[in-house]
Amino acid sequence: MKGPILQETTKGDVMKRTVVICAVILHTINAYAETFDIGGTEIVIPPPEGFTIVTQEMDAVYRLNLRMEDPNNDQLAYYISDMDVPAAINGEIPSLEKTSAVKVNKQIKNIIIGLKDFKKFKNKIKLQNKEKIEEIKSRASDIFEKTNKGISEEFDINFAMGVNDVTPLDPHFETENILSYSMYANYGASIEQEKKDVIVSSTTTFVNVAGKILFLYCYGPQNEIEWTREVSKLWAEKIVSSNPDAPVKSTGIGGIDWRRVILKGITGGISGGIIALLIGMATFFKKKPK
């Protein structure tokens, strides 16, 4: 009896150590900044502090993220908390209480936006952030319909989710090339017979580096809004210091509907926060890759 038990325990320990070692190696690799080509301009984006970029090695989380629809923005990178990395590499979907993402709007990714126009862009955000909330919620609901279908097909489950309410707050941090504001979003989801509601705090940050506007999103539990703000601030400042300054004047911006760009940026933040609903529901996501 003792021999087999000891052998089984040893195998289990080896497996745990292997997962931990893989996590450490992956974290070491992803601790370095990634370079992205955005409309012909190379932008360096380091990960936010305490986060690791999601890769294909994190099978279930990677496939889940692929199904998170956002037709208006291109997602450059998605990040999970360092603490969730071992479980993600082991093919599991961890708690995902804290996540981050960086996106760029499809309509403006190929143009150069100078500091003068970025100032106007920031002023419009301050006006639209609260005024257009019902339109934003409607746009987010349309995105969720596609996401629901994609996740249901990918994991062979009956999945549905949506946003119940959104409470945007006033901007709390601003520099010449950064603007940040936070919000609370109340989401609801159902998987098979289980239902769940959760309030997520998030911070959205618009950053202009080398004339490219990045949308940074940081999500956390309801009571961690100050944490999302601090992480976002440090992340934005790190990105700014890693790239050339934006020019004073813009090039090629004729015909841009800034109202729509802003709405899409805000909507992208709301749709991304829905993944926090998976906390406590991850046991349903056990389907193996196709």
Task: Over range 19-38, report the average pLDDT.
Answer: 64
Residue 202 contacts residue 101 (beta carbons within 8 Å): no
Mean pLDDT computed over 220-231: 95
Q: What is the pLDDT of residue 17?
A: 56
Higher pLDDT, 134 or 86: 86
Residue 230: the pLDDT is: 98
Place of tokens 């015909």: 255
Secondary structure (3-state) at 187:
strand
Higher pLDDT pick, 259 / 142: 259
Q: What local confidence, expressed as pLDDT, does residue 16 receive? A: 52
Q: What is the mean pLDDT of residues 220-246?
A: 95
Question: What's residue 94's pLDDT?
Answer: 85
pLDDT tens digits along 160-197: 777 778 888 889 999 999 999 998 988 877 777 777 77
Give the SS3 label for residue 75.
Answer: strand
| Residue 6 reports pLDDT greater than 70 | no
pLDDT band at 251 (very low <50, low <70, confident <90, very high): confident
Least confident of 23-37, 43-57, 113-127, 167-181: 23-37
| CA pair distance 181, 203, nearest whole angstrom | 6
**Residue 29, beta-bridge partner list:** none
Q: What is the pLDDT of residue 133?
A: 66
Q: How confident is the model at residue 258 (pLDDT cuts 50, 70, 90)?
A: confident
Per-residue pLDDT, 289: 43
Write down the pLDDT at residue 282.
52
* Sign, Cα dihedral of 109, 111, 114, 118: negative
| Closest of 74, 57, 56 to residue 19, by C-alpha | 57
Question: What is the average pLDDT across 249-268?
Answer: 79
More confident position, 265 or 153: 265
pLDDT of 9 strictly over 60: no
Burial of 173 from C-beta contacts in 10 A (0-12 / 13-18 / 19+): middle
Instruction: Tell me the per-residue pLDDT of 41-99, one tens digit each, with 9 for 90 and over.
Output: 999 999 999 999 999 999 988 988 887 777 788 999 999 999 999 999 998 888 888 99
- Is the full-model pTM beyond 0.85? no
Confidence of residue 254 (pLDDT cuts 50, 70, 90): confident
8 A C-beta contact, residue 96 and residue 249: no
pLDDT value at residue 260: 78
pLDDT (0 to 100) of residue 101: 94
